Chain A
Amino acid sequence: MGKALISRRQFLRSSLIATALAAHGQLPLLAKERTTGSGIDVASGPYATKPIRDYLKRFSPTNEARPQRQNYALRYNIVHWGAVSKRTHALTNSVVGEVVVKRTVAGNQVTYEVRQRMRIGGTDNFIVAEIVCDPDRWNSLRRWNLRSYYTATGGQPEPLSVLSEEGWCKDGSIQVRGDNYRHSYGAHNPVLTQWTVPDFLSRCTSSPLNVCFDLLQDLSLFKPRQSLVYDGSTPVRLAGGETVTLQTYAQTGQGILPIHYLLDSQGRVQLVTSSILSWTLSSVEKRS
């Protein structure tokens, strides 16, 4: 029998080195086989709260009981992912606006009144909408009107910025109209807006939720085939150092980065995180 080309000791040593290099992804041929794990999210905490992990240091969940009645208002801060400080490596989150969604049930319809303010490019940008929905499980869109504008110096609406639209959705046909233009879309699923999804979730949560809907973002931008599924529980470390566990639902689909909705034990959607923008619940108000 011929002499071995390398000794057992050498073989074991080489194998150990190769394994260590591969573990760090430094052997290209082996790295090619590595398809899981993330080198980016190593120290970022749970992905569902990653965009607002700085803000969470200042966040306390709203404990106002969710009204048993069907009429209430949800108030969210709009939180912006800022930048990472090159000096301190600190992530910055800032509040750039607020959105209030009031829900009223009367007769055979559900009405949502929306008022959203966001600070963008040195101006305050407003969207004010009234949305009438079907009284079904989804509260799917029936008709709406929307007015948007930004403010000029002095806080008054800039006349050139005022935009009024109205629209309706019937049998899968969506129409959006301005004074001089119209958009038409064809929906194959229930149609929701981003302002009514949290309410849908708070009414319909059950752990194995797995549904599909079409999104009419801002009541103007049609983004079909949205999937909304239960995504497990997420531990969230709060301002006081305590950790709460929130049930998490993930929305993916055309024209959006993954959105996570985090609900507390009472079914309140406390956090909605996307990428650059997220929402954090600041109050729940009873309405008569």
Chain B
Amino acid sequence: MRRPNIVFVHVDQMHHQAISAYGCKHVRTPNIDRIVGRGYSFLESYCAMPQCCPARTSWFTGRMSKEHGVVVNGYPIDPEIPDLGRWLRKYGYEAVHTGKWHVTGRDVADSFQVLHRGSGHGELGDSAVARSAVAYLENRTGDKPFFLSVGFLNPHDCCFPATSHGGPGKYGFAPRIAHQLPPLPENFDYDYKNSGMSQTRNWSLQDWRYYIYSYYRLVEMIDAEVGRVYGALASGRYADNTLFILTSDHGDGLGFHAKVSKGYLEEEAGRVPAILCWPGRIREDVQDRTHLVSGVDIAATVCDYAGVPALPKMTIARSWRPLLQGNETQWRDYVICETSIGPLSASVRDGQFKSIIYEDRTRLFDIRNDPLETKDLAGDAEHAAVKKRHRDHFREYIKQIEVYPGPPDIERRISRQRRAARMPRAAVSYKRGNLYRAYVKWYEKIKAES
């Protein structure tokens, strides 16, 4: 049997509900809708960490952020860890990448054949990236199976229009299209000027609605580019033997809880679309609300379908193949999402509830009955058992993973940094060293709990 080709399309900062096929009335995504109709959607899908570099590194390594070392943007990957590009090449695949990569500490060209490097702005680079992917499908020769990774930027451009001191967003235009502006989310926090994110405290409610309007247009932009790639694949010469995967590195606040951007563990940031399509080979028109999946599973699924050994030390990643093909399988009871932005924290999601565990407190939500996370149940005595169970899950998870303590020469690096900064020891806060230490210490403490 021929080994399949795999096209892995990833977008950036896409809210898990911003798809018209899932019922969103404020956006039109005919291309993604088509893929949803012909494929299998995981609706209970979480990223490994809601920030670009950590989440992307998890896709390509099958490891959580506290394992691969990219614990926030800018932190380098553990150089010893292989990624999908290197791994698939080793086993006979043509590994090709175009567009956004953003795995810090590793040049994409060391792992993949690179078509195009894209741009930090989707409006500038995404069309070129899509064209490069389609041109590759048109022009490639040879008999090897291929793994094509296509990295789009949008809807991430939503980060720029409202930056302080004037991004390009035309917020003053909002009154002219007031009738087109979507409503605020039901769980919008009207106290945001006091309790919300610092960058949005000067926003008016009209600004919020224009932000949401703009965000949906950016989603439609990327829908068109996704459609360009999918359409070329689905009507082209590789259609019969190619698995198509579409996901996002993390979500976006989109006004939910009066938040924008990402980095935190509420559903809007941590939950992501995950859609796979291969007509005739995997189940079609399935919207799976039962199985909890994670960004780390991408690597396991790709290895499984490619018929290559699993990447080493994928501690919690699971292949989706049995689910996609409708085979009986024992699935995980909970899924973890971590963050190192703001206070260290991790979410534990099971079939009904989700805890967000911090060093000093826990929040608990009934996701099934309160999907907008409006009522914190952590203080309710009747939910004490759920809270404890989630804490046990978190401890079990920490025992399972291989926690990365930072580069071996981290102490020397910190000293060098101090000397370069010519600052007194007491005044130096070397963030990088401190962050590694902070999560190692916290995880050790939880592991030691009885």
Q: Which residues of A contact B (CB under 8 A)?
A: 25-26, 28-29, 31-32, 34-41, 43-44, 46-48, 50-51, 53, 80-81, 84, 89, 91, 96, 118, 120-123, 125, 148-150, 159-163, 178-183, 217-218, 220-223, 231, 250, 252, 254-258, 260, 274-277
B140 / chain A contacts, CB cutoff of 8 Å:
160
Q: Which of B236-257 contact A (CB under 8 A)?
A: 236-237
The digit string for B147-178, where 1 denotes a CB below 8 A from any CB of A, is 00000000001001111111111111111110
B128 touches A121 (CB 8 A): yes
Contact A120:B128 (CB < 8 A) given known A35-B206, A275-B123: yes
Whether B86 is near chain A, meaning CB under 8 Å from some CB there, is: no
B232 touches A121 (CB 8 A): no
Listed by A's residue number, 16 A-B pairs whose Cβ atoms lie within 8 Å are A31-B193, A34-B204, A38-B172, A38-B203, A44-B166, A81-B121, A84-B167, A120-B119, A181-B138, A181-B235, A221-B225, A222-B224, A255-B217, A258-B173, A258-B177, A260-B170
Whether B351 is near chain A, meaning CB under 8 Å from some CB there, is: no
Q: In the complex, what distance in Å separates the CA atom of A34 from the CA atom of B167? A: 23
Interface window among B54-62, B129-137, B435-443: B129-137
A150 touches B132 (CB 8 A): yes
| Smallest Cβ-Cβ distance to A52: which chain B residue | B168
Whether B367 is near chain A, meaning CB under 8 Å from some CB there, is: no
B284 / chain A contacts, CB cutoff of 8 Å:
none
B193 touches A25 (CB 8 A): yes
| Smallest Cβ-Cβ distance to A231: which chain B residue | B176
A276 touches B169 (CB 8 A): no
Given contacts A161-B139, A181-B134, could you give 11 more A-B pairs where the C-beta distance is less than 8 Å? Answer: A31-B205, A36-B206, A39-B202, A40-B202, A50-B169, A80-B124, A81-B167, A162-B139, A217-B224, A218-B127, A276-B160
Q: In the complex, what distance in Å separates the CA atom of A26 from the CA atom of B235? A: 56
Whether B118 is near chain A, meaning CB under 8 Å from some CB there, is: yes
A218 / chain B contacts, CB cutoff of 8 Å:
127
Shortest C-beta distance, B237 to chain A (Å), equals 5
A41 touches B171 (CB 8 A): yes
B182 / chain A contacts, CB cutoff of 8 Å:
none
Contact A81:B160 (CB < 8 A) given known A50-B166, A255-B220, A256-B221: yes
B165 touches A34 (CB 8 A): no
A217 / chain B contacts, CB cutoff of 8 Å:
224
Shortest C-beta distance, A279 to chain B (Å), equals 13
| Total inter-chain residue pairs, C-beta < 8 Å | 207
* Set A40, A122, A274: member contacting B117, Cβ < 8 A: A122
| Smallest Cβ-Cβ distance to A54: which chain B residue | B166
| Smallest Cβ-Cβ distance to A31: which chain B residue | B193
**Chain B interface mostly:** helix
A34 touches B176 (CB 8 A): no
Q: In the complex, what distance in Å separates the CA atom of A28 from the CA atom of B204? A: 11
Whether B180 is near chain A, meaning CB under 8 Å from some CB there, is: yes
Contact A255:B224 (CB < 8 A) given known A44-B172, A47-B171, A178-B232: yes
Contact A26:B172 (CB < 8 A) given known A37-B206, A179-B138: no
Shortest C-beta distance, B118 to chain A (Å), equals 5
Shortest C-beta distance, A206 to chain B (Å), equals 19
A220 touches B228 (CB 8 A): yes
A96 / chain B contacts, CB cutoff of 8 Å:
124
B204 touches A25 (CB 8 A): yes
Q: In the complex, what distance in Å separates the CA atom of A48 from the CA atom of B116? A: 32
B134 touches A178 (CB 8 A): yes
A48 / chain B contacts, CB cutoff of 8 Å:
170, 173
Shortest C-beta distance, A251 to chain B (Å), equals 11
B28 / chain A contacts, CB cutoff of 8 Å:
254-255
B225 / chain A contacts, CB cutoff of 8 Å:
221
Shortest C-beta distance, B73 to chain A (Å), equals 16
B165 touches A84 (CB 8 A): yes
B327 / chain A contacts, CB cutoff of 8 Å:
none
Shortest C-beta distance, A275 to chain B (Å), equals 5
A183 / chain B contacts, CB cutoff of 8 Å:
227-228, 231-232, 235
Contact A91:B165 (CB < 8 A) given known A183-B231, A277-B123: yes
Q: In the complex, what distance in Å separates the CA atom of A41 from the CA atom of B162? A: 9
Q: In the complex, what distance in Å separates the CA atom of A276 from the CA atom of B126? A: 12
| Smallest Cβ-Cβ distance to A81: which chain B residue | B168
B232 touches A181 (CB 8 A): yes
Contact A148:B228 (CB < 8 A) given known A182-B235, A255-B223: no
Q: In the complex, what distance in Å separates the CA atom of A255 from the CA atom of B122? A: 13
A160 touches B206 (CB 8 A): no
* Set A84, A125, A149, A161: member contacting B164, Cβ < 8 A: A84
Whether B115 is near chain A, meaning CB under 8 Å from some CB there, is: yes
Shortest C-beta distance, B253 to chain A (Å), equals 16
| Smallest Cβ-Cβ distance to A38: which chain B residue | B171
B115 touches A161 (CB 8 A): yes
